[in-house]
Amino acid sequence: MALYEHIYLARQDVTAQQVEAMTEQMKAVIESKGGKIGKVEYWGVKSLAFRIKKNRKAHFTLINIDAPPAAIAEMERQMGINEDILRLLTLRVEAHEEGPSAMMRKREDSDRDERGERGDRGDRGDRRGPRPDRPRRPREDGAVEGGAF
C-alpha cells in the first residue's frame, strides 16, 4: 500500500465537532477499503490567502493515510460531493513525518529573547542618537533637526 498525506479545508461556519465528524467519516471510508489511518491533526481555523467560495477562513485538517489508490479515490469522491469542504489535496509521500507537523510545532526564534527584543545585530551598529556623518539643519522654528532631545 502507498503512503499519503491528505489535507482538507472545511467552511468556517461549521463547528469543530462537525469537522471532526467529517474526519471520522473519511477514516471509515479508508478503513472499509483496506487502508489505515496514521495521525490526524486539526490545525484550527486559519485565514485564507484569497476567497474560496465566498469564505475568507477555513478549518484545516491533516490526515496521514496508508491505503490503496482505490480507497483514496473513493474518499476524494465523497469529499468532492460534500458542500462543507472547500478544497482538498492528497499527496503521495515516501514516508510519513514523525512527530508533529510543521504547522503544529511552535516557532522557535533563537535570535529573540523572551521579551521579544532582538539580540546583538553585530554589523548593524548602534542606531540610537544622531548619525555623525549627517549634518544638522535648523528647522523653521529654530530647533535643530537630527539632534538629541
Number of neighbouring beta carbons within 10 Å of residue 146: 12
CATH code for the part of the protein at 2-93: 3.30.70.60
What's the gap between Cα 90 and its chain centre?
Answer: 16
- Strands 55-67 and 36-52 turn out to be antiparallel
* Alpha carbons 18 and 87: distance in angstroms, whole number: 16
Q: Which pLDDT belongs to residue 23?
A: 94
Q: Which pLDDT belongs to residue 47?
A: 92
Tell me the pTM. Answer: 0.67
Q: Which pLDDT belongs to residue 108?
A: 43
**Cβ atoms of 58 and 10 closer than 8 Å:** yes
**Cβ atoms of 80 and 90 closer than 8 Å:** no
Phi-psi region of 70 (alpha: psi -120 to 50; beta: other; left: phi over 0): alpha
* Alpha carbons 64 and 97: distance in angstroms, whole number: 9
pLDDT of the chain along its 149 residues, tens only? 889 999 999 999 999 999 999 999 999 999 999 999 999 999 889 999 999 999 999 999 999 999 999 999 999 999 999 999 999 999 999 988 888 887 877 544 333 445 556 566 666 666 666 666 766 666 777 666 555 54
